[in-house]
Each structure stands twice: as C-alpha cells, then as structure tokens.
C-alpha cells in the first residue's frame, strides 16, 4: 500500500471519528446522573461508545476510500480478480472483536456486581404498582406510605417491588436503572441517590390504557429533611390507627 493511501485513509478516519465524537459529546443523550449506580452505568455506556466510534472511523475510512478510489467506469462490466481468503486478515477480524466484547463483558459484570452491593444502614422501601399508580411504603418506619417516593441523599436504598395486577416497570431516568414489577414475584432494585432534586418516576412497561399517565415523582432530600418527613408520616399513621 502506498504511503499516500495510508495517509488518506487516516485522514478520512479522523474526520469520520471527529464527526461521531461531536454527535456523541455535543448532544445531551443521557440525563445527568442522580445516583451512584447511574454514574457507573454511564461509565459503561461511554466505554462502549468510545469503542463504537473507533470502529465507525475505521469502517467509514475503508468505505469512503473504496468508493472514491476503486469506482468502476459506467461501461466496465468486468469482474474483479478472484480472492481466496486472507488468513492474517481473518485472524485479525476475529481476535479484535473477541477482545473488545470480552472487555465490555468484564466492565459490565464489575459494574453490575458493584451496583447490586448494598452499603451499610440500608433503607427499605416497598414499591407497589397497579393500574395506573405507584405507592411507596417504608417498613422501617411503621409502614408509613406515600404516593411520592422520598429518599435521603447518599444512603443505600433497597426497593422491593410488587405488582397488583399486570406487569409494570419502575424507571427514574436520572437513576439510570429499570426494574419490572411482576404479579406474584418480588423484584428488587438497589439505588444510592447522590444528588438532591425532584425526578420523574415513570412506568416503562405498557400496562393498559392509562400507562402514559402512570407517573409520579421521586424526591431526593437531605437526610435531616427525610428523617423529619418520615417522623411526621409515622405520627400521622399512629394517630390514624
Ligand atoms: Cu405502564
């Protein structure tokens, strides 16, 4: 291969990779993370995106170079020379994807196991989904319940999810995790909120006519505010009972 051709290929690859990088970085694809788990999941996403951009740049360079340099004349109907395989090339295109996919699998496995590991002093929250509403109860606080998911910042939370009727799915985009709620099954989700704010809780499994309206909010509060709120709920439920 001529030196000029290699330089042209590299130049096309840099331009294609640059465009792909700009699309990845300049557009807001992901919500700003509001939990530790979300931060790790975003790391996996960016790890995969970087690999994808490099592969895209190589493929785009090869295709654009081939189209511009090896274009046949309109009246040229002849076949190209026969090719009988290329062992080195085949080893390369088997080995490289194997290494990349293995790397993605290892990074994902580490992130999944770290996301599942609970910290100390876990807050338990029961999540109940039904057509078309969410409710949350706090078994550690005498079963205080709320239609809004209130969580303290920087504390390990274990959501235990149940469905009363059909399959629903719990999703807070800023927490970057989804978990189905399935009638007859108990599912769990582990979240450590790390940013104060109010976020949407969305049902992300088509569950009937009101599915689009099956939303509520998650409020991440300071631990002091959360304790105050939980205490007031506890008092309210004892006075009621
Ligand atoms: Cu739904």
pLDDT band at 20 (very low <50, low <70, confident <90, very high): very high
CA 138 → CA 31, 34, 125, 145, 229, distances in Å?
27, 21, 5, 6, 12
* Residue 237: pLDDT over 70: no
The average confidence (pLDDT) of the chain is 92
CB 152 within 8 A of CB 226: yes
Closest to 39 measured CA to CA, from 145, 105, 114: 114
Going from the Cα of 199 to the center of ligand 1, the distance in angstroms, rounded, reads: 17
Going from the Cα of 188 to the center of ligand 1, the distance in angstroms, rounded, reads: 18
- State the pLDDT at residue 1: 65
Going from the Cα of 3 to the center of ligand 1, the distance in angstroms, rounded, reads: 58
Residue 95, SS3 per DSSP: helix
Lowest mean pLDDT among 85-94, 140-149, 228-237: 228-237
Cut 0.75: pTM above it? yes
> What is the mean predicted confidence (pLDDT) over 209-227?
95
Going from the Cα of 170 to the center of ligand 1, the distance in angstroms, rounded, reads: 9
Report the distance separating Cα 90 and Cα 95, nearest Å: 9
pLDDT band at 239 (very low <50, low <70, confident <90, very high): low
> What is the mean predicted confidence (pLDDT) over 188-202?
96
- State the pLDDT at residue 241: 47
Q: In what order do the strands lie in the sheet with 133-138?
A: 144-146, 133-138, 123-130, 157-163, 187-191
> What is the mean predicted confidence (pLDDT) over 225-231?
91
Going from the Cα of 169 to the center of ligand 1, the distance in angstroms, rounded, reads: 7
Report the distance separating Cα 40 and Cα 237, nearest Å: 38
- State the pLDDT at residue 240: 54
The residues facing 123 across adjacent strands are 157
pLDDT band at 232 (very low <50, low <70, confident <90, very high): confident
Going from the Cα of 158 to the center of ligand 1, the distance in angstroms, rounded, reads: 21
CB 170 within 8 A of CB 201: yes
Alpha carbon 189 to chain centroid distance?
14
**Other CB atoms within 10 A of residue 90 CB:** 10
> What is the mean predicted confidence (pLDDT) over 88-98?
94
Q: What angle do CA 78, 81, 87 make, to 5 degrees?
A: 150
Percent of the chain with pLDDT over 70: 97
- State the pLDDT at residue 143: 75
Q: Which tens digit of pLDDT belongs to each residue from 134-186?
A: 999 999 887 788 999 999 999 999 999 999 999 999 999 999 999 999 999 99
Going from the Cα of 46 to the center of ligand 1, the distance in angstroms, rounded, reads: 29
Strand 157-163 and strand 123-130: the pairing is parallel
Going from the Cα of 180 to the center of ligand 1, the distance in angstroms, rounded, reads: 10
Q: What's 175-222 look like in SS3? A: HCEEEEECCCCCEEEEECECCCEEEEEEECCCCCCCHHHCEEEEEEEC
184 sits in the region (left: phi over 0; alpha: psi -120 to 50; else beta) called left
> What is the mean predicted confidence (pLDDT) over 4-33?
94
Going from the Cα of 9 to the center of ligand 1, the distance in angstroms, rounded, reads: 49
- Tell me, what DSSP letter sits at residue 81? P
pLDDT band at 238 (very low <50, low <70, confident <90, very high): low
Q: Which tens digit of pLDDT belongs to each residue from 96-145?
A: 999 999 999 999 999 999 998 877 889 999 999 999 999 999 998 877 88
Going from the Cα of 203 to the center of ligand 1, the distance in angstroms, rounded, reads: 4
Going from the Cα of 154 to the center of ligand 1, the distance in angstroms, rounded, reads: 29
Going from the Cα of 214 to the center of ligand 1, the distance in angstroms, rounded, reads: 6
Going from the Cα of 125 to the center of ligand 1, the distance in angstroms, rounded, reads: 20
- State the pLDDT at residue 59: 95
């Amino acid at each position: 291969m001529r030196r000029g051709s290699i330089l042209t290929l590299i130049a096309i690859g840099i331009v294609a990779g640059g465009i792909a990088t700009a699309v990845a970085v300049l557009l807001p694809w992901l919500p700003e993370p509001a939990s530790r788990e979300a931060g790790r999941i975003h790391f996996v996403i960016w790890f995969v995106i970087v690999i994808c951009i490099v592969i895209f740049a190589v493929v785009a360079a090869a295709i654009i170079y081939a189209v511009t340099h090896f274009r046949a004349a309109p009246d040229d109907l002849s076949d190209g020379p026969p090719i009988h395989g290329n062992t080195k090339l085949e080893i390369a295109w088997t080995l490289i994807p194997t290494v990349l996919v293995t790397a993605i699998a290892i990074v994902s496995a580490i992130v999944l196991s770290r996301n599942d590991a609970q910290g100390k002093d876990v807050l338990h929250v029961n999540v109940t989904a039904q057509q078309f509403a969410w409710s949350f109860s706090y078994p550690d606080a005498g079963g205080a319940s709320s239609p809004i998911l209130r969580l303290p910042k920087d504390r390990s939370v274990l959501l235990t999810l149940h469905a009363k009727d059909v399959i629903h799915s719990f999703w807070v985009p800023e927490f970057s995790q989804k978990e189905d709620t399935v009638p007859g099954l108990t599912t769990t989700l582990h979240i450590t909120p790390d940013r104060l704010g109010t976020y949407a809780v969305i049902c992300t499994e088509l569950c009937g006519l009101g599915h689009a309206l099956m939303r509520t909010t998650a409020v991440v509060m300071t631990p002091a505010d959360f304790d105050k709120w939980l205490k007031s709920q506890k008092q309210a439920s004892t006075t009621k009972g």
